[in-house]
Amino acid sequence: MSCGRRRSGGLVGRSLLAFCLIAPCASGYAAEGPPRFHVRAPAGALTFVVYGDTRFTERSHVANETARRALVAGIAGEKPAAILIGGDLVYQGSDPEDYATYRNETAEWARQKIPVFPALGNHEFHDCPRDDPRACLDNWWSTFDELRPYRWYSVAIGDSLLALILDSDSSLRPGSEQRAWLEKEVSDADGDKRVRFILVMLHYPPVRDPIFPRGKDEAEVQRYLSARAPGLRARVIVVGSHVHNYERFNLDGVVTYLVSGGGGAKPVPDFRAASEQSRLTTSVNFHYLRFTLQGERLTGTMVRYEASDGASERWSEPDRFEVAAK
């Protein structure tokens, strides 16, 4: 079943092609430029998972391996149509062994043929020269070689949701190549009456607790959406990672901003800005986000794993929200 072809005729790479052996599958198409992948929607509700900062590695003290593996198993149990990872998939991007750890620990995802769509984070470039990241990028592309040579791309999840996967370490300023692509994708989606939701995923969160410093150009995404989103046909949801915790905000009344960085990396306590809406009382929050898309509603649930010794209940769902189509 050759469902993974681009318009140019070339097969997508081995990691996603493997997921296309049985339906439903993800396939990639691009007339030119970054590819667009398509995840087929089953009848009824469609579930997909988003989270970040997993830090797959054998190095100790940089991640909680127990929590990371529990989350991987929990996600496998969801049997999602797709998994989106918001960067820092590995700890040291220069080390191919970290990617081997990712493949080993997520073998059940591969067995279930679940397509995985990653964003680049700062740790994907860790231990590579700032002015020459080729070795780090090659490790990433070797694992997700259907993305080569691109650093950003899109995923259509069913007919009604478009996910735009950005690269926080490339310019997002007006006039840049990535910004021009982002604006065109948003405009094209606005012209498609089927698209009811646009999910923007990038590593550095545009809106988060202000105690955390800015990463690079993520504020440009917030400025752009504040001007553009009110007039769009679709609702917009933005998910960032980088901060090793969970946060939820609503800005301008039209954009839901989420921080999902609890995939296993060493936790960072959150001080909860006054505008933060989850009202969580726990300071350590290993978690993933389960999204359920059904009809005119997108429901998000924060699925939390309690990693502390002696916990009587490991799993909880302390935050839930809904985004209704316009």
Please provide the average confidence, as pLDDT, over all residues in the chain: 90
Which whole number is the average pLDDT over 182-189? 98
Distance CA 229, CA 248 (A): 18
* pLDDT computed for residue 86 by the predictor: 98
Query: What beta strand segments (E) does 10-152 contain?
Result: 26-29, 36-39, 46-51, 83-85, 116-118
User: ∠ CA 129-217-165 to the nearest 5 degrees?
Assistant: 85
pLDDT tens-digit series, residues 122-149: 999 999 998 999 999 999 999 999 999 9
Q: If pLDDT is split at 50, 70 and 90, which confidence band does 191 have?
A: very high
pLDDT tens-digit series, residues 285-308: 999 999 999 999 999 999 999 999
Q: If pLDDT is split at 50, 70 and 90, which confidence band does 3 have?
A: very low
pTM of the model: 0.91
Which whole number is the average pLDDT over 26-54? 85
Residue ranges of domains in the chain, CATH in brackets: 33-324 (3.60.21.10)
* pLDDT computed for residue 209 by the predictor: 85
* pLDDT computed for residue 142 by the predictor: 97
Q: Give the 3-state secondary structure of residue 65.
A: helix
Phi, psi (rounded to 5 degrees) for 46:
-115, 130
Q: If pLDDT is split at 50, 70 and 90, which confidence band does 21 have?
A: very low
Helix (H) or strand (E) holding 110: helix 107-111
| Statement: residue 1 has pLDDT above 70 | no
Q: Is the sign of the CA dihedral 99, 152, 12, 43 positive or negative? A: positive
* pLDDT computed for residue 65 by the predictor: 97
Lowest mean pLDDT among 24-33, 52-61, 98-107, 170-179: 24-33
Q: If pLDDT is split at 50, 70 and 90, which confidence band does 23 have?
A: very low
Distance CA 233, CA 160 (A): 11
| Statement: residue 5 has pLDDT above 90 | no
